[in-house]
Structure 1
Amino acid sequence: MSTTQQSRVVVHSKLTAVSSRPVKAGATHNLTALDHAMGLHTLHVVFYYKHKLFGCFDLDPLRLSLSEALSLHPQVVGRMAHKPDGNWEVKCNDAGVRVFMARVATTLDEWLRSADGSEERLLTVWDDMPDDPSTWSPYRIQINEFEGGGAAIGVSCTHMHADPTCVTLLVKAWAETHRKQAIAHPLLVGESSALGGRPVDQDIIKTKSAAAYYEAKSVAAKTPLPEKKMSTATFKFSSAMIKQGLLQIHKTCPEANPFDLLAAVFWTSIARLKPQKSATKHSLSICTDFRKKLCSGWHYGNALHFSMLSVPDVEEAENANGLEHVAGAVQRHVWSQKEEEFWSGVDWFGSQKGEEGKFGAAFRMYGPELTCVSMEHMNEKEPMMYAALFDKDKKPAHVSYHVGNVEGEGLIMVMPASEGGLGRMVMVTLPEEELARLCEAQPILSLKPTMLLSGKQA
Structure 2
Amino acid sequence: MVPIPNSETPSHTSRISTVVPATPRGDQNGAFQLTSMDLLMKLHYIRPVFFFTAEAVQGLSISDLKKPMFPLLDMYSHVSGRIRRSESGYPFIKCNDAGVRIAESRCEITLREWFHQNGVYSVNGLVHEHVLGPHLSFSPLVFVKFTWFKCGGLSVGLSWAHILGDAFSAFNFITKWSQILVGHKPPKSLHTPNIKEPQSPPTYNIYENPISIKKATVVGEYWLGANNSDVATHSFHFTFKQLQHLVTATSNLSQTTNTAKTKKDSYFEIISAMLLKSIAQIKGDFGTKVLTICTNNNSNRDGNEFPNNGLVLSRIEADLAADISELAWLIAEKKMVENHIMEKLIEKDEGKEDYIVYGANLTFVDLEEAEIYEVKLNGHKPIMANCTIHGVGDEGVVLVLPAPEDIDGGGSGRIVNVSLPEKELNQLKDKIGKEWSIIV
**Alignment TM-score > 0.5, same fold:** yes
- Alignment coverage as a number of residue pairs: 410
Partner amino acid for 1:395?
Answer: K
The structure 2 residue matched to 1:438, chosen from 407, 424, 428, is 428
Give the distance between the partners of 1:385 and 1:69, measured in 2 at CA: 18
Partner amino acid for 2:21?
Answer: S
Name the structure 2 match of 1:130. 133
Instruction: Work out whether 1:403 is the aligned partner of 2:404.
Output: no
Structure 2: stretches of 5+ with no match in the other structure: 1-10, 219-224, 261-265
Name the structure 1 match of 2:154. 151
Give the distance between the partners of 1:174 and 1:273, measured in 2 at CA: 42
Give the distance between the partners of 1:83 and 1:194, measured in 2 at CA: 29
Name the structure 1 match of 2:239. 238
SS at match of 1:377: coil
SS at match of 1:401: strand
The structure 1 residue matched to 2:319, chosen from 289, 304, 312, is 312
Q: Which moved more, 1:219-228 or 1:409-418?
A: 219-228
How big is the shift at 1:232?
1.1
Structure 1: stretches of 5+ with no match in the other structure: 1-8, 379-383, 452-458
Alignment of 1:9-20 (within 5 A): 10-20=12-22
TM-score normalised to the size of structure 1? 0.78
Counterpart contact for 2:89–2:352, Cα < 8 Å: no
Q: Which moved more, 1:259-268 or 1:286-295?
A: 286-295
Instruction: Work out whether 1:254 is the aligned partner of 2:246.
Output: no
Counterpart contact for 1:116–1:233, Cα < 8 Å: no
How big is the shift at 1:47?
1.4
Q: Deviations over 1:185-214 (max 9, x none)?
A: x854xxx34579x9xx9xx97944596798
Q: 1:101 to 1:137 in 2, by over 3 A?
A: same
Give the distance between the partners of 2:67 and 2:227, measured in 1 at CA: 47
Partner amino acid for 2:298?
Answer: R
Name the structure 1 match of 2:367. 375
SS at match of 1:93: coil
Q: 1:248 to 1:225 in 2, by over 3 A?
A: same
Instruction: Work out whether 1:61 is the aligned partner of 2:70.
Output: no
Give the distance between the partners of 1:305 and 1:212, measured in 2 at CA: 21
Name the structure 2 match of 1:419. 405
Q: 1:347 to 1:282 in 2, by over 3 A?
A: closer
Give the distance between the partners of 2:174 and 2:25, measured in 1 at CA: 20
Counterpart contact for 2:297–2:311, Cα < 8 Å: yes
Q: 1:195 to 1:332 in 2, by over 3 A?
A: closer
Q: 1:298 to 1:348 in 2, by over 3 A?
A: same
Q: Deviations over 1:259-318 (max 9, x none)?
A: 11111111111111013x5x51233211112234999x844131122222222234xx6x
TM-score normalised to the size of structure 2? 0.81
SS at match of 2:183: coil
Counterpart contact for 2:91–2:351, Cα < 8 Å: no
How big is the shift at 1:239?
1.7
Q: 1:415 to 1:358 in 2, by over 3 A?
A: same
How big is the shift at 1:413?
0.6
Give the distance between the partners of 1:400 and 1:230, measured in 2 at CA: 18
Instruction: Work out whether 1:332 is the aligned partner of 2:329.
Output: no
Counterpart contact for 2:102–2:144, Cα < 8 Å: yes
Instruction: Work out whether 1:449 is the aligned partner of 2:438.
Output: yes
SS at match of 1:47: strand
Give the distance between the partners of 1:117 and 1:84, measured in 2 at CA: 48
Give the distance between the partners of 1:39 and 1:118, measured in 2 at CA: 26
Q: 1:181 to 1:347 in 2, by over 3 A?
A: farther
How big is the shift at 1:222?
7.2
Q: 1:89 to 1:372 in 2, by over 3 A?
A: same
How big is the shift at 1:361?
1.5
Counterpart contact for 1:23–1:71, Cα < 8 Å: no
Alignment of 1:194-209 (within 5 A): 207-208=202-203
Name the structure 1 match of 2:222. none
SS at match of 1:95: coil
Q: 1:413 to 1:119 in 2, by over 3 A?
A: closer
Alignment of 1:69-108 (within 5 A): 69-108=72-111
Name the structure 1 match of 2:113. 110
The structure 2 residue matched to 1:48, chosen from 48, 51, 59, is 51
Give the distance between the partners of 1:227 and 1:117, measured in 2 at CA: 29
Partner amino acid for 1:172?
Answer: T
Counterpart contact for 1:118–1:232, Cα < 8 Å: no
Give the distance between the partners of 2:208 and 2:387, measured in 1 at CA: 25
Q: 1:123 to 1:293 in 2, by over 3 A?
A: closer
- Aligned residues: CA RMSD: 3.6
SS at match of 2:12: strand
Partner amino acid for 2:392?
Answer: V
Give the distance between the partners of 2:77 and 2:129, measured in 1 at CA: 20
Give the distance between the partners of 2:297 and 2:242, measured in 1 at CA: 28
Give the distance between the partners of 1:408 and 1:436, measured in 2 at CA: 15
SS at match of 2:430: coil
Counterpart contact for 2:133–2:139, Cα < 8 Å: yes
